[in-house]
Amino acid sequence: MFDPVTDAFIGGHWMSGPTRFAVTNPANGVVIAEVANLGPVQTVEAIDAAEKALPAWSALTAKARSAILMRWNALILENTEALAELMTAEQGKPLHEARGEVAYGAAFIEWFAEEAKRSYGHTIPTTASSKRMMSIKQPVGICAAITPWNFPIAMITRKVGPALAAGCTVVVKPSEETPLCALALARLAEIAGVPAGVLNIVTGTDAAAIGQVLCDDPRVRKLSFTGSTEVGKILYRQCAGTVKKLSLELGGNAPFIVFDDADLDAAVAGALASKYRNAGQTCVCANRMLVQSGIYDAFAERLAQEVGAFAVGSGSDPDTVIGPLINDEAVNKVEGLVNGALEMGAKALTGGARHDAGAQFFTPTVLIDVTPQMEIFSQEIFGPVAPLFRFETEAEAIALANGTPYGLASYFYSQNVNRCWRVGEALEFGMVGINEGLFSTEVAPFGGWKESGLGREGASEGLSEYLETKYLCFGGVQ
């Protein structure tokens, strides 16, 4: 692991800040680094820098911006191992998962570097012989990105990649839990030739104050946030005053439906991949396992057998499958949901309690006999716990799945092609995995319905979020 960058990055300069805060390894509590602790004043300075850099950056051709982004992508990939080790140290996920995230994160830079050259406008058939009409796409302007700790590289590149490709400049506020990956990305962007002020990283512990500045400043024309629905609603309200363009990727409560006609081996493999990746700390991970009665017992037994064999420990150990949760609050929440379910009659086939690997570890768990009346049905668990709910009919499964204010990700397993079409169309979620537990990719749109957010990231839709459409009407044509 290379020495972490610990100063914030504003206007092409590394800033130490008025104070510093500690970043710790969640596996053992050891302090990794002391990072610059900025606040509202420095956030305004970052917006100033982004404003100064905007005209020249947006004036570059898409091809010129693409070349710089491609160099950044190459540097990220060249430093995969160092970035993965840094991520595991500050976030906790197993090293093999961290390597995967580095590749995933770099893919967004590559994709949008290519996609920027295809941000086409349109010619419009005229309504009068003296007129010619067309539309063009232009960058929205200065953008703010507030990113979470669970994917500290990919959640930044998924926002910054399209913003920079479109010609926007960006101010990023990374999570105070995982600022080191953000600063490492900025260092590589600097080396790649991203001009001063185009990318700014504001690190700090007062997220509310920094977010308020980003929402209130009229120069910031776009805000992209990934995090809880509760915080997303606050930001939504704060942005109303300046009518900003918004992308909100918020909480989820993903159903994972297993029908009687499912391929059992595939369903178990998909459940393991979806539920237990990053110790269950993903917004798209399976949160409610809905299993049809005919296959319920067999699925539960097989799943518990696999989960019970998971190695738990520090993410730096090559054998580790389940690393630590991010902090004490996360462990307390998971423990409370599990205990509440057990008290109401659920049973733990495996796990069900904290793990002795350390204060922030929870044993990978499979719960059976869980019912919709238990709190665990309606809450996003964000931990390595799979609660299994029994259902009888397809209609019941769809009703249970859709019975949530969230609509981010969903999954189901069936070998019946007619059912695949019916259920896929009936689920009220922005993303549906059909016989597939992992579907995130830079080439497809990522985002949710209902209280899971607004807008899409990735794919061509992701670039559009950072562009405005301008209609040009030429009159007096002879």
- Report yes or no: 392 and 296 within 8 Å, Cβ to Cβ: no
Q: Which residues pair with 473 in a beta bridge?
A: 133
The one catalytic residue among 101, 249, 394, 451: 249
81 token code pair: 């191992």
Q: Which residues of 324-348 are buried (b: 16+ CB within 10 A; e: fewer)?
A: bbbeeebbebbbebbeebbeeebeb
- Report yes or no: 291 and 299 within 8 Å, Cβ to Cβ: yes
User: Could you give the C-alpha distances from 86 to 30, 337, 377, in angstroms and in order?
Assistant: 14, 31, 35
- Report yes or no: 350 and 366 within 8 Å, Cβ to Cβ: yes
- Report yes or no: 449 and 429 within 8 Å, Cβ to Cβ: yes
143 a catalytic residue = no
82 token code pair: 């160092």
Helix (H) or strand (E) holding 289: strand 286-292
215 a catalytic residue = no
CA 126 – CA 203 distance, rounded (Å) = 51
CA 174 – CA 186 distance, rounded (Å) = 12
Amino acid at 136: I
- Report yes or no: 122 and 135 within 8 Å, Cβ to Cβ: yes
The one catalytic residue among 143, 181, 215, 283: 283
User: Could you give the C-alpha distances from 184 to 5, 22, 41, 156, 174, in angstroms and in order?
Assistant: 6, 17, 23, 12, 12
DSSP 110-153: HHHHHHGGG---EEE--SSTT-EEEEEEEE--EEEEE--SSSTT
| CB under 8 A, 24+ apart: contacts of 80-87 | 82/1, 82/2, 82/184, 83/153, 83/181, 83/184, 85/1, 85/316, 86/1, 86/2, 86/4, 86/180, 86/181, 86/184, 87/152, 87/153, 87/178, 87/181
CA 317 – CA 357 distance, rounded (Å) = 12
DSSP 322: B
CA 468 – CA 345 distance, rounded (Å) = 54
User: Could you give the C-alpha distances from 204 to 22, 23, 62, 184, 303, in angstroms and in order?
Assistant: 10, 11, 33, 16, 41
Residues labelled as active-site residues = 249, 283
